[in-house]
Amino acid sequence: MTTRRKFLTSGALGAAAAGLTAPAIAQTTSVKWRLQTYAGAALAEEVVKPAVEAINTIANGELEIELYTADQLVPTTELFRAMQNGTIDAVQSDDDSMASPTEVTVFGGYFPLALRYSLDVPALFNSWGLKEIWEEEYAKVGIKHISAGSWDPCHFNMKEPINSLADLNGKRVFTFPTAGRFLAQFGVIPVTVPWEDVEVALQTGELDGLAWSGITEDYTSGWSKVAPYFLTNNISGAWIGHFFANMDRWNALPPHLQQLVQTAFDQSHYQRQWWYWAGEAKLRVEGTDMTLTSLPPEDYKKIEDAARVFWDEVAAESPIKAKVVDIIKQYNDVMEKAGAPYRS
């Protein structure tokens, strides 16, 4: 005799039930994203690959991110446009390097001496209102600003030692657009080359050095051997880096995948924070490739004073820039009044 249970599983009703459930399995398809980073292959291993691998593992087939390194799909200066038009889905970069057409682009990368320590970045974004400003400015141009985090401080690493401001005069330096604009007043000649070509450009004499990173990236990227003089005075105390996504692609993700991406990228910022903090100190003390030099206090004071003038010049360019500069000024005033360990 055919029992009711057997009929439900193997009879006509069971077949119908199976037919109803089959399409649900077929509809579970993986979302694929292409993410390009500003970083070359060696650096990407540290600053983005762990986060991408975590997302791909935890998503369990629902989301897969393909990672591409500097200039692999499009030149770094075209990253924003490629993301905006959907050629790529997400980007890891600073605003400045990818030429974002926003009012906040000038603050990406290294805005001169607005920051001193790595914790200044998440503090400014999460407690002082920069997060909301960035989200609003990028939403205007169809981009989701996912998160901002702190990176390494900006230092000169050069083929010849820098012992005074005068030593920078006429030096051809690979740097960020805003940093180049600021440093030009000290005789620096900003030069732009693809990230992967930097080492060869140093060897051939096209570049005299870099103002692009801290000492950790000098070693990681191989620049420590071809530009072996490291200037301990920094131009800015932390790089502001971000994760972005095409807004339509972001909105197409279900909430749990949005939360996964957000969490993994936030964790990535945290990982880089301690990776750089430990690496900068350790390599200054134990690194064997680079010789450390420093500017006289009176020369570095000139850079600090020039940075404040630069802030005011940028603030005069638009109301949004003025708002960001005002926050930076207020924040630094509080940090200075708080004293050590916030400011020495």
What pLDDT, on the 0 to 100 scale, is given for residue 14?
Answer: 42
Q: Clarify whether residues 279 and 174 are in a common domain.
A: no
Q: What residues in the chain have per-residue pLDDT under 70? A: 1-29
Asked if the structure places residue 258 within a domain, the reply is yes
What pLDDT, on the 0 to 100 scale, is given for residue 28?
Answer: 52
Closest by Cα among 298, 294, 304 to 332: 304
Asked if the structure places residue 110 within a domain, the reply is yes
Q: Clarify whether residues 137 and 160 are in a common domain.
A: no
Q: Clarify whether residues 203 and 215 are in a common domain.
A: yes
Q: Clarify whether residues 99 and 247 are in a common domain.
A: yes
Q: Clarify whether residues 183 and 68 are in a common domain.
A: no
313 is in which domain, residue-wise? Answer: 155-236+290-338
* Alpha-carbon distances of 12 from 26, 72, 295, 339, rounded to whole Å: 22, 55, 85, 78
Q: What token pair was written down for 325? A: 């500069």
Asked if the structure places residue 20 within a domain, the reply is no
Q: Clarify whether residues 146 and 190 are in a common domain.
A: no
Q: Clarify whether residues 50 and 135 are in a common domain.
A: yes
Predicted TM-score of the model (pTM):
0.89
Q: Clarify whether residues 230 and 215 are in a common domain.
A: yes
What pLDDT, on the 0 to 100 scale, is given for residue 344?
Answer: 83
What pLDDT, on the 0 to 100 scale, is given for residue 151?
Answer: 86
- Strands 172-175, 143-150: pairing kind: unpaired
Asked if the structure places residue 26 within a domain, the reply is no
Asked if the structure places residue 242 within a domain, the reply is yes
Asked if the structure places residue 22 within a domain, the reply is no
Contact indicator for 51, 67 with CB cutoff of 8 Å: no
What pLDDT, on the 0 to 100 scale, is given for residue 207?
Answer: 98
Q: Clarify whether residues 127 and 246 are in a common domain.
A: yes
Q: Clarify whether residues 227 and 264 are in a common domain.
A: no
What pLDDT, on the 0 to 100 scale, is given for residue 29?
Answer: 64
Which domain-ending residue is among 248, 263, 284? 284
Q: Clarify whether residues 75 and 161 are in a common domain.
A: no
> Positive or negative, the Cα torsion across 86, 88, 91, 97?
negative
Residues 6+ apart with CB under 8 A from 27: none
CATH number for the domain including 247? 3.40.190.170
What pLDDT, on the 0 to 100 scale, is given for residue 12?
Answer: 40
Asked if the structure places residue 187 within a domain, the reply is yes
What pLDDT, on the 0 to 100 scale, is given for residue 106?
Answer: 97
Asked if the structure places residue 69 within a domain, the reply is yes
Q: Hey, how many other C-beta atoms are within 10 angstroms of the C-beta on 295?
A: 20
Q: Clarify whether residues 162 and 309 are in a common domain.
A: yes
What pLDDT, on the 0 to 100 scale, is given for residue 203?
Answer: 96
User: In the chain, how many domains are there?
Assistant: 2
42 by Cβ neighbours in 10 Å (0-12 / 13-18 / 19+) ranks as middle
Q: From CA 108, how far away is CA 138, in angstroms rounded?
A: 13
